[in-house]
């Protein structure tokens, strides 16, 4: 279920006019939604473009040469992103994640990170600023991002087998360059680094064990993501999902594992530890064990729409509000109103939908809203 309030439902001011008093909020104070979930984590897509064409995310058949990506002036500017983040921080957000598309493609990204690194929570703490990347440009950019104030990176890596990796990214990008990027990020101090592997049955599930062996005993935390029915481009089918339970069982048969308690409320990954002290892995079970009950994540799309769920069909146009000249209190009130109306819990509802109903839902693409 997704919230359907549109920009029209949201209090806003035209340029020069003031926001109605009734909607004004104190300048700080946590927001909660209809299911009593706070807004803690803001994921910001900073570009809809990508240099990869991962088959499960941006298949070439859809994202081909003629695909119309957004124009530069349609993207939120760094100042607009920082303004939204500052208001979000005043109302409970403690963590920002930059994503995309491929965020390292956005020119001058270090400048954005510098601005975000200046932000503080109401009690004066800096925000955690993370980045999710395909790693292709990390070797070049890791040090500058660290110097700008980036806290850490998560790198997507679906296989160690070069031939398979190249066919999955579908642009013949070699796996060695992503591994170099991970090492560069580690050397720059952008840790603890998480490595995300999306598992699709019949495509890369035979890489689960090689990946586990490779990162067992390393400083990197490997996380397995169940293949999701995001967007409508990837032709998702339930039998292509490899459940987290199966992944734990397959790895545990060779490298025994034991479960760990969640480190923080709203954590997406269930954590398991190698019994022999070789570190831990994470399992993101968006399909088989939904975690909507504690979902505290808001998402801003590349063109400035606020989405309250990864599977929402509609976003709320903050860019229009920003460009209408709204003041900070008005913007805060709009965000509070959107979050306050939120009752999304798609992953919990998914199991009750027939394949036809699932297919009929219009959903936004992962590359547009980010992970
Ligand atoms: N380009 C960057 C990257 O690949 O890390 C950031 C954006 S990407 C959309 C964010 C994450 O979403 C990646 O870890 C990717 O593997 C994951 N992802 C994309 N499509 C997915 C799907 N259908 N199911 C599960 N995860 C998916
Ligand atoms: Fe690009 Fe990331 Fe999507 Fe792959 S998963 S196509 S790298 S946005
Ligand atoms: Fe959050 Fe995902 Fe559930 Fe939506 S489906 S509420 S994004 S956990």
Which CATH number covers residue 336? 3.20.20.70
pLDDT of residue 351: 74
Q: Residue 133: is it exposed, middle or buried by C-beta count within 10 angstroms (0-12/13-18/19+)?
A: buried
- How big is the chain by its Cα radius of gyration, in Å? 20
Pairing of strands 297-300, 305-307: antiparallel
Q: Do 299 and 238 form a contact (C-beta atoms < 8 A)?
A: no
Does residue 366 carry a pLDDT above 90? no
- Which position has the higher pLDDT, 370 or 182? 182
Q: Flag whether 33 is in a domain.
A: no
Q: Flag whether 155 is in a domain.
A: yes
pLDDT of residue 20: 32
Tell how far the Cα of 342 is from the centroid of ligand 3, in angstroms.
Answer: 11
Tell how far the Cα of 77 is from the centroid of ligand 1, in angstroms.
Answer: 23
pLDDT of residue 23: 45
Tell how far the Cα of 182 is from the centroid of ligand 3, in angstroms.
Answer: 28
Strand order from edge to edge, sheet including 152-156: 257-259, 270-274, 280-284, 221-226, 194-199, 152-156, 128-133, 95-99, 41-45, 297-300, 305-307, 316-317
**Residues paired with residue 274 on neighbouring β-strands, in sequence order:** 257
Q: Indicate if ligand 1 lies below 6 Å from the C-beta of 196.
A: yes
pLDDT average, residue stretch 59-70: 94
Q: Residue 281: is it exposed, middle or buried by C-beta count within 10 angstroms (0-12/13-18/19+)?
A: buried
Q: Confidence band (pLDDT; 50, 70, 90) for 222? A: very high
Residue identified by tokens 């965000």 is 335
pLDDT of residue 1: 33
List the domain range (segments joined by +) for residue 253. 38-369
Lining residues, ligand 3, CB within 6 Å: 290-292, 295, 297, 309-311, 344-347
pLDDT average, residue stretch 298-307: 96
Residue identified by tokens 């983040």 is 85
Q: Flag whether 226 is in a domain.
A: yes
Q: Flag whether 349 is in a domain.
A: yes
Q: Confidence band (pLDDT; 50, 70, 90) for 290? A: confident
Q: How many C-beta neighbours within 10 Å does residue 290 have?
A: 16
Q: Flag whether 173 is in a domain.
A: yes
Does residue 348 carry a pLDDT above 90? no
Residue to probe by mutation, ligand 2, list 56, 62, 135, 367, most atoms within 8 Å of CB? 367
* pLDDT, tens only, 315-333: 999 999 999 999 999 999 9
Reading phi first (left if > 0) and then psi (alpha if -120 to 50, else beta), residue 214 is in: alpha
Q: Flag whether 285 is in a domain.
A: yes
Using alpha carbons, select from 237, 267, 299 the residue that is nearest to residue 43: 299
Total domain count for the chain?
1
* pLDDT, tens only, 40-51: 999 999 999 999
* pLDDT, tens only, 188-221: 999 899 999 999 999 999 999 999 999 999 999 9
Q: Flag whether 15 is in a domain.
A: no
pLDDT of residue 24: 46
- C-alpha span between 183 and 199 (Å, rounded): 23
- C-alpha span between 47 and 69 (Å, rounded): 9
Q: What is the average pLDDT score of the chain?
A: 89
Q: Flag whether 5 is in a domain.
A: no
pLDDT of residue 27: 52
* pLDDT, tens only, 152-166: 999 999 999 999 999
Q: Which of 16-20, 147-151, 359-363 has the highest mean pLDDT?
A: 147-151
């Amino acid at each position: 279920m997704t919230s359907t309030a549109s920009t029209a439902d949201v209090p806003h001011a035209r340029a020069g006019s003031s926001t109605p008093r009734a909607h004004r909020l104190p300048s700080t104070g946590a927001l909660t939604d209809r299911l009593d979930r706070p807004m803690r984590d803001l994921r910001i897509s900073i570009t809809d473009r990508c240099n990869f064409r991962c088959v499960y995310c941006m298949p070439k058949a859809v994202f081909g040469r003629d695909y119309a990506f957004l124009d530069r002036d349609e993207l939120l500017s760094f100042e607009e992103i920082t303004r939204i983040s500052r208001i979000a921080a005043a109302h409970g957000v403690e963590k920002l994640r930059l994503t995309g598309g491929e965020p390292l493609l956005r020119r001058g990204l270090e400048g954005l990170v510098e601005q975000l690194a200046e932000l503080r929570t109401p009690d004066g703490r800096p925000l955690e600023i993370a980045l999710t990347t395909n790693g292709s440009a990390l070797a070049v950019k890791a040090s500058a991002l660290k110097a700008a104030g980036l806290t850490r990176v998560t790198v997507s890596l679906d296989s160690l087998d070069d031939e398979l990796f190249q066919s999955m990214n579908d642009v013949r990008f070699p796996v060695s360059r992503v591994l170099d990027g991970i090492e560069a990020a580690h050397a720059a101090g952008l840790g603890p680094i998480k490595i995300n592997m999306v598992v699709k049955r019949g495509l890369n599930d035979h890489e689960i064990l090689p990946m586990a062996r490779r990162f067992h005993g390393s400083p990197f935390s490997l996380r397995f993501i169940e293949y999701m029915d995001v967007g409508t481009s990837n032709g998702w089918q339930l039998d292509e999902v490899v459940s987290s339970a199966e992944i734990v069982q397959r790895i545990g048969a060779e490298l025994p594992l034991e479960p760990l308690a969640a480190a923080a409320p709203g954590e997406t990954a269930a954590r398991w530890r190698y019994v022999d002290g070789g570190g831990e892995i994470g399992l993101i079970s968006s399909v088989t064990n939904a975690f909507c009950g504690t979902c505290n994540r808001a998402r801003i799309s590349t063109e400035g729409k606020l989405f309250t769920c990864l599977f929402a069909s509609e976003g709320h146009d903050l860019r229009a509000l920003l460009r209408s000249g709204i003041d900070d209190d008005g913007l805060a009130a709009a965000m509070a109103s959107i979050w306050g109306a939120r009752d999304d819990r798609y992953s919990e509802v998914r199991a009750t939908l027939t394949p036809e109903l699932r297919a009929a839902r219009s959903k936004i693409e992962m590359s547009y809203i980010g992970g």
